[in-house]
Chains A and B, each alone.
Chain A
């Protein structure tokens, strides 16, 4: 068997692929954060809770209404996105004129409250959620055993990231959004309802988090803390990519997934830390992030 740095090559290929899969989650989550920060200038610390809500709504749809995975993939983001709209309308919109810090504190608090409510209702160990029958099974790639579902996650995540990037960079709606970030007063003077656009942007960012939550439900434990565990990494991804940069967050998400994957082979104890080491280095050398505009 061929070896690279003392590690069997098949194992290394396997880790590369797994890294990409985890990177897909990082990319999807940091994408939502980047959209919200880029357009609203709000650092959305509720994102982890909203990711968790996506998974939980999928479980609720199945448990209470018998609605399966495929519909959940559509409905859960809509439902959770709607709660995002309510949060934006009633709370976040009041803070736009203040320092970032206020939005951060507010969303952090809201996130903790949501997690607490779910824990109170559903306990801490979580809920079972099965992989849909269409996506069960696995491909034998020779060097590893690749579950069909993980392949699906990577493909969907890439499609989703591309679609979001296209909407923001290449469509008229996207250009309004970007213009409204630069100069809201001027855009409003052209007859565009900027507050509503902000609300919907927040809703869309939240829906992306919920979408990632539904994707995660069959493979991670559906429990109230599932978002809290991921969100810190995702914030590091956003900082490394450059706050508000869509492309940056996607590329960084996948890249860091791979770096983390390799660390798990060479020095497993450090695999939870490696992303933060990268973050520290990037902040020292390029404070605006790899893709950010200083």
Chain B
């Protein structure tokens, strides 16, 4: 059921003779000298815009940039359809038969947790770049997993606390009725209370299967809370925001805190509706010369008009750092042990155009700066994908859950 496309990407491979023409010994030598990256991602479902073609392009960019350092890099791509069973079946085949060394992207929390388990069992590497659950570096942490870009803890801390500071001290949550929504509501409630705010109520909206949120929005409005917190994602968030604007909720002074909002969601909403929303992200294409450069190159490879989101930046940066660690460790050692590769990735400081300087903590959490953005008005936007203005930024350590609070098992042992 999975669609697998293979691309051999290194320039060397293009000039090499076809596989069939190689003498056996040389073919084996070639395989031993080749690192294989498996991009296991959502190409066709809800998260296609956060992953999809831009993720493939970002990974390819990292590989291209790293070319010709004495080993070959190949990429395979598969669509996991957001189903953990499909994802683990594909990853198992990749690990056991196709000689894949690292699985990246992963997206949906359920998929990431399942594949991370498998990677640990097979001693390979799993790098999650658009997964939300903070359990990945907490209760479910593993010495073979790295979690890049964002998590529920960071989102609720940066966005939640900022809203309370700005005067939004009473909250009502619209929460998607599944693990992710519950976690986001729980974490945000903690930060709102810690900052001196109050939570007046919440409503659990069925997931999936809710298209009309106006009933829930009216309940939120009836609570007279100053802030409506959206603990949901993707199309649910888009529908909630669109309908909040329609029912005049934002115009009458109630603020919407969209706890997980990607630039692709803003793109889908249009600035007319999305203007004024506040969101926490770790990357925006127009932050500095580096982010502009990397975004331009990802878009050039991907084609299309989908803005480069933080998840795509993560695909680029994580793969680049992985390849640096492989080069440092040596291909043979890296292929032999995913755990050693991850340990080396943690030992080396990260530095890339997308996220700047940072590091990977013992529990696998990638630490870098986070930003609070406000969505521009149509009048403020000057060009394609010009959607955000920067409100504030954190340092690299501050937004993330402290190591001791995560409950990660393997560190203590």
- Residues of chain A having any CB pair with chain B under 8 Å: 8, 10-11, 14-15, 18-19, 21-22, 116, 119-120, 123-128, 130-131, 138, 144-145, 147, 149-150, 218-221, 223, 225-226, 229-230, 232-233, 261, 264-265, 268-273
Interface string of B204-230 (1 = CB under 8 A from A): 111011111011101100100000000
B44 touches A128 (CB 8 A): no
Q: Which residues of B are found within 8 Å of A149, using beta-carbon distances?
A: 246
Contact B218–A125 (Cβ < 8 Å): no
Q: At the interface, yes or no: B272 with Cβ under 8 Å from chain A?
A: yes
Q: Are B268 and A127 in contact (CB under 8 A)?
A: yes
Name the one of B218, B239, B269 contacting A128, with C-beta atoms under 8 angstroms.
B269
Closest-CB distance, B92 to chain A (whole angstroms):
26
Contact across chains for B242 and A221 when beta carbons are under 8 A apart? yes
18 further contact pairs, Cβ within 8 A, besides A125-B49, A125-B235: A10-B222, A123-B48, A124-B46, A124-B47, A125-B264, A130-B273, A145-B247, A147-B247, A221-B268, A264-B203, A265-B215, A268-B203, A268-B206, A269-B177, A271-B205, A272-B209, A272-B210, A273-B206
- A133 CB, min distance to chain B CBs, angstroms: 12
Q: Sample 25 A-B pairs with CB under 8 A, ordered by A number.
A: A10-B222, A11-B218, A14-B215, A15-B215, A18-B212, A22-B212, A123-B49, A123-B304, A124-B48, A124-B234, A125-B49, A125-B235, A126-B238, A127-B268, A128-B273, A138-B248, A145-B252, A147-B248, A219-B242, A219-B243, A229-B208, A229-B209, A230-B211, A232-B209, A264-B216
Contact B235 A126 (CB under 8 A): yes
Residue from A8, A21, A125, A219 with most neighbouring chain B CB atoms (10 Å): A125
Chain B interface size band reads 35 or more
Q: How far is the CA of A144 from the CA of B47 in the complex (A)?
A: 35
Q: By the criterion CB–CB under 8 Å, are A128 and B247 in contact? A: no
B-chain residues with CB within 8 Å of residue A138 when the two chains form the complex: 247-248
Q: Is B11 an interface residue (CB 8 A)?
A: no
Q: Which residue of A lies closest to B222 (CB)?
A: A11
Contact B215 A220 (CB under 8 A): no
- Which residue of the partner chain, among B52, B268, B272, B304, contacts A126 with CB atoms under 8 Å? B268
- Interface contact A125-B209, CB-CB below 8 Å: no
Instruction: Determine whether B270 belongs to the interface, using a CB cutoff of 8 Å to chain A.
Output: yes
Please measure, in the bound complex, the distance between the C-alpha atom of A219 and the C-alpha atom of B273, giving whole angstroms: 11
B residues less than 8 Å from A272 (CB atoms): 206, 209-210
CB–CB A124/B45 < 8 A? yes
Question: In this assembly, does B306 line the interface, its C-beta being within 8 Å of a C-beta of chain A?
Answer: yes
Residue B265 at the A interface, CB < 8 A?
yes
CB pair A123 B306 closer than 8 Å: yes
Closest to A136 in B: B246
